Amino acid sequence: MRDCTIVLAIGESKNYYFAMDSDIAIRLQNTTKVFYPPGAQPVTAVDALTLDIRRGEIFGLIGPNGAGKTTTLRMISTVLKPTSGNVEVAGFNTVSHSDDVRRILGFLSGNTGLYKNLKAREMVEFFGRLYGMPENDLHERTKRLFEMLEMTEYAETLCDALSSGTKQKVNIARTIIHDPPILVFDEPTVGLDVMVARTLTDFIIGLRDVGKTVIFSTHIMREAERLCDRIGIIHKGELLALGTLTELLQKTETNNLEDAFFSLAETPKLQV
Amino acid sequence: MNIRNVTVIFKKQLIELLRDKRTIFVIFILPLLLYPIMVVGFAQMSIFLIGKMAKETYKIVIENHVQAPELFSLIEADSQFSVVQVENADSALQIGDIQLFIRIPDGFEKKIASGDSDTLRISFNGAKEISDLSLDRLNGLVNDYRREIVSRRIENAGLDSTLVKPVFERTENVASEEKMGGMVFGRILALILVLMVITGAYYPSVDMVAGEKERGTLETLLVSPVGRIEIVIGKYLTVFVLALVNALLNLASMGLTIGVGLKAMGGNEIMGKMAFSIDIGTMAIILLELLPLAALFSAIFLAISAFANSYKEAQGYLTPVFLAAELPAMAAILPGIELSQGLAFVPVMNVALLFKAMMVGDFDPALIITVWLSTAVYAALALRWATSILSNEESLLSETKVSPLTSLFSRGKKSYKTNGEAGPVDSFILYAIAIALLFLIGVPAQMSNLIRGLAITEIFLVLLPPFLFVKQMKLNIKSTFRLKAPRLSGLLVMIPLTISGFFLITQFQVVFFKVFGLPFEYIESMQGILNTFKGLGPILGFAAIALLPAICEEFLFRGYILDGLTRGWGPVAGIIVSGVLFGAFHMDPNRLVSASILGIIFAMMVWRGDSLFYGITGHLVNNGIAFAIFIIGETPFTSRFFGENYAPIWATFAMAVIFGSTFYYLWNRLPNNIHNNEINHIT
């Protein structure tokens, strides 16, 4: 994954600027999301979440299924609007400046699919065009990304015919085609085999090395332990704890993240 | 909106779909195969049927034929008869070995020659169709034979033969070959053409929204910096273009098949009967009319597809809509239904009817514009609807929203099973079904027997469908239909409200009549209907014209339709749209406005009071007055207050005051229903 760093560094030159000259990449203030399913009780998926994610860190959002991780990430990536509260990405409000936010984000989730009738190259270039990249830059960068990810030979293959590992590589290429400074990964390793998952986590570390900000969610505690600079533990829509791995373990007097989670989930709200 | 993004999405969608085998087949291959196959199939079948009939020969036994050589030779000369001999003619006739058995009395032709008369005994088997046909044929022969004898006798008597045949007739079919061909074949082609356009929009739209959701690509698209509207327009354009290409190919294939294929086979008698020509101008108009139709269905299918989370589910939703859309198109091929000013506004049916008329080469050019415009308006509304649905974050992300339709069409799924709620889509589907049923069953039933037809219409076509919907979707009967106890005072006040409303609406019609010169037909058209109830007497008449519609129509319009619309669109739009739908349901341009106003007033009170009984009372009073005025007949009173001239100004004023005050009273006194709060939450 060393090559990866080089290519991403080339991309750096065309980086987007943060609206606010600040250390905060993503800021959530009292962010709440309530769903109103027809014919059922309203569901508060995220409850008054307040959280800062710093520039250049890998931030992990940890919690069981249904904790509100995906909803939080979807609010950050502008797909959902918060019911109340604010979300800012690089100083841009996700509701009032959703276009700016989407431009500086790269988003990848575990169940992201590919257009099966597009070729791998077409798939990546399609998204590049949506990000407004000029054709020349786009071809150049697509080529480099494919080389870096060792998948040049599959460039003209229909996505449908690719192996799951190559598919995930196409997805990675798609996520970083526009060289976003902030990346959002929603359970990116779900359903991947061990080898492919490892490629992906290595890739995330590579992203930090070139100065990107990464927020990612997972329910696999090991992954978080290995990758994250800081970790937020979320349960039933509420943030239970926030800090580095060491801080969390100290505070909960446990040896690993899993135990830390259970000790927190049983005792209400504890700010580290 | 960024045009570049729209283009990028459009191109990508097109590439994807053009690599999809199913799309290729439906859009490109099917049209090219369909028409030649249809023509050949149609022709083969006709040849088979006609050929079979022509080849049929009738076996006939003639007993004692030596007594009638002249008749015998006539029969023998007819190629369709074959004279045979059997042992037992009676039993052979019974079992169908022979078709006819003629017994000729002794000395038959001698008697005739001498100017006398005698009887032929002809036996046939009425239980066999072929025997029946042979009898017809024989009757023709015997008639010729008889005529021959008569003219011989007249000649012998030295008289002119015109004496016994003073009138000659000559029949002539004024329909040209083209019209005849068009009648038979054009009807089917018109239907197929409309259906193919709808089919063309079907697959791409399922694939592009529900399919993308299922594959997990839609979310990725949503986090890229493209506007929702750009996504919608990009996808919409793709469906539209494909539907249109499909239509074009259909048209071209049809034109080629008819123009080249049929002409090449023109020598054949049967083919000749099917042949008709479509000129370039007609083709151009057909294409022009297909544009808004394709636009309409592209939008409808895209929007509905957004409710589904998977390809399969989307098909589950779209298939009923598809079938519902086919109904009006099918109705168009029924004989006797012709394009009229009113039908020019019925979506799908109008286009199908216009095509049918054009195939026959006989249509009103003004209606081309009406059909085009009304379809274009529906298409614009549908696109507006599609954009609002597809721009809605929650309908695009799988787990967040469950469509009310879901519960109707996927009963097996647990999560959708209970506590569903009706939405605007359901209301429109129900309305479309009711209209279709009215055309297909109600109108014919009323034509054959008005009273029975009306009862069938109201009970089975108006009242039953909303109940079936409620049952299917497992909705709460009581809350959907607002079957809650009304306030007695409210019901009582509905009476003066409706009476004054009726009066004011009548005056409103007079204004239209006087100011705009529009026909004064509100009362008249009512009376036209009422006249047929003369024989019924006041009680039965009242039941048929007031009571039955008041109950049944309220369940449909102020019950199900109002409920679905207000849930989706809020009370204001829900009340107005349900009222207009009610007005349009009367299928009478003269009553559209007045019935819509009435519908809106009833809907307001039903919604406000949260009880259907306010609507039933109002409806009952309204129809009751109309019936009462009719029973009373033309009196100074009725013509003064409900006639073609303005009622006295004091009366109008008094009625306006009564209407205003009762309306004000009801609106403020009726309990504001709890639906209010729910709606505020949901929207």
- pLDDT higher than 90, residue A26: yes
Helix ranges (DSSP H) in B206-310: 212-215, 218-223, 228-256, 263-264, 269-274, 280-305
> Residue B387: which H helix or E strand, with range?
helix B365-390
Q: Is the pLDDT of residue B404 over 60?
A: no
| Predicted confidence (pLDDT) at residue A29 exceeds the cutoff of 90 | yes
Cβ-Cβ contacts under 8 Å, B404 against chain A: 38
What was the pLDDT predicted at B533? 66
Instruction: Find the CB nearest B8 among A42, A114, A126.
Output: A126
Q: Do B394 and A35 touch (CB under 8 A)?
A: yes
Q: How many CB atoms lie within 10 A of CB B161?
A: 12
Measure the CA–CA gap between B574 and B450, rounded to whole angstroms: 33
Minimum-distance CB partner of A80 among B215, B393, B682? B393
Cα A64 to the center of its chain, rounded Å: 17
Distances (CA, A) of B124 to A125, B75, B97, B98, B102: 83, 16, 12, 9, 9
What is the structure's pLDDT at B157?
82
What pLDDT, on the 0 to 100 scale, is given for residue A5? Answer: 38
Q: Determine, for residues A115 and B19 on separate chains, whether the beta-carbon distance falls below 8 Å.
A: no
**Contact criterion met (CB < 8 Å) for A81 and B393:** yes
Among residues A103, A266, A38, A185, the alpha carbon closest in space to that of B415 is found at A38
User: How far B563 CA lies from chain A's nearest CA (Å)?
Assistant: 14
- B interface mutation test: which of A129, A160, A182 has the most B CBs within 10 A? A129
State the residue for tokens 């721009």.
Answer: B391
- What separation in angstroms does the CA of B2 have from each of A131, A193, B9? 12, 40, 11
CA distance A4 to chain B (A): 23
User: Is residue B659's pLDDT more than 90?
Assistant: yes
Interface test with A, best of B17, B220, B473 (most A CBs within 10 A): B220
* Torsion, CA B26, CA B28, CA B29, CA B35, rounded to 10: 90
Taking 90 as the threshold, does the pLDDT of residue B657 lie above it? yes
Residue B654 in this model has a pLDDT that exceeds 50: yes
What pLDDT band is residue A84 in, cutting at 50, 70 and 90?
A: very high
* Reduced DSSP (H G I as helix, E B as strand, rest coil) percent helix, strand, coil of chain B, to 5: 75, 5, 20
Across the interface, of A80, A118, A131, the residue whose CB is closest to B15 is A118
Of A14-23, B172-181, B407-416, B519-528, the one with minimum mean pLDDT is: B407-416
Q: Are the C-beta atoms of residues B327 and B346 closer than 8 Å to each other?
A: no
* Strand (E) or helix (H) holding B369: helix B365-390
> A37, B400: Cβ pair inside 8 Å?
yes
Residue type, A72: T
Lowest mean pLDDT among A119-123, B451-455, B615-619, B663-667: B451-455
Task: For residue B419, give the chain A residue with the closest CA.
Answer: A39
Instruction: Flag if B401 and A37 touch (Cβ within 8 Å).
Output: yes
Task: Report the pLDDT value the prediction gives residue A122, as an integer from 0 to 100.
Answer: 94
- State the alpha helices, DSSP H only, in chain A: 2-12, 69-76, 98-104, 120-130, 135-148, 164-176, 194-209, 221-227, 245-252, 257-266
Q: Which residue of A has its CA nearest to B420?
A: A39
* Complex-level ipTM: 0.82
Q: Is the pLDDT of residue B182 over 60?
A: no
Which chain B residues contact residue A79 at CB under 8 A? Answer: 219, 222-223, 393, 397
- In this prediction, residue B511 carries a pLDDT of 78
Q: What's the order of all strands across the beta sheet hosting B58-63?
A: B81-84, B58-63, B100-103, B121-124
Contact yes or no for B667/B501 (Cβ under 8 A): no
Q: What percent of chain B has pLDDT over 70?
A: 80
Q: Which residues contact B474 (CB under 8 A, 6 or more apart)?
A: B407, B417, B418, B419, B420
pLDDT of residue B88: 86
| Prediction pTM value | 0.57
pLDDT (0 to 100) of residue B120: 86
Q: Over 90: is that where the pLDDT of B286 sits?
A: no
Least confident residue range of B112-121, B229-238, B278-287, B480-489: B278-287
Q: Note the pLDDT of residue A16.
A: 45
- pLDDT category of residue B399 using cuts at 50, 70 and 90: very low
State the pLDDT confidence band at A60, using cuts at 50, 70 and 90.
Answer: very high
Q: Share the mean pLDDT of chain A.
A: 84
Q: Does B587 lie at the interface with A, CB-CB under 8 angstroms?
A: no
The CA distance from B239 to B281, in Å, is: 26
Residue B656 has pLDDT above 50, yes or no: yes
